[in-house]
Amino acid sequence: MNLIISIIAGFFLSFNAYASGVILNGNDSVTVNINNHTKTLTFDTVINGYSVKCSGDKIILWGKPKAINEGNPQDTNVILVDLEHGYKRIEKGVSEGVFGVDFIKEKELAYIGTNQGLFFNLENGKLKSVGQEFDPTDDNNFEKCNKNSSWEFNRYP
């Protein structure tokens, strides 16, 4: 009986993963507090910034790779961490600097602020160039919520 209760409780806790706090550790890791459980995530990237989705279940980090791949000298790594699904990570390299990340209102997309602008699909990790029909200066395109102050960090605002 206790096993069944534990399994059901574990299911609901993992189903409702919600970051209540994020702490930057040094320059390559963050500690995430989820349901009073902390998890430290370390990356092969020098973290320049991160942003948590209003739902608290996803975080996007960006920064410079620690080791440059001479065959593909990308400027910045963009990393999606799905906190709701076992800290699943999707990492992409982009060939220009990232200035910030904003989550698109009512869609599973994030806007990656680069010179040209990119959409990051939060379901499959695909990147797509932003077309002229999207206006990144219009705040109505982005989700709004009262974020915990630890949910956003930008080394170079």
For the segment 130-135, the average pLDDT, to the nearest whole number, is 93
Query: Per-residue pLDDT for 98 more than 70?
Result: yes
Measured CA to CA, the distance from residue 26 to residue 28 in angstroms comes to 6
3-state helix, strand, coil in the chain (%, to 5): 15, 45, 45
Q: To the nearest whole number, what is the mean pLDDT of the chain? A: 88
Looking at the chain, list the stretches that DSSP marks H as alpha helix, in order from N- to C-terminal side: 2-15
Instruction: Give the pLDDT score at 46.
Output: 96
* Partners of 42 in the β-ladder: 29
User: Which residue has tokens 């949910």?
Assistant: 151
6, pLDDT greater than 50: no
Buried b (16+ CB within 10 A) or exposed e, 1-17: eeeeeeeeeeeeeeeeb
Average pLDDT (93-102) is 94
pLDDT digits (tens, 9 = 90+) for 45-78: 999 999 999 999 999 999 999 987 777 666 899 9
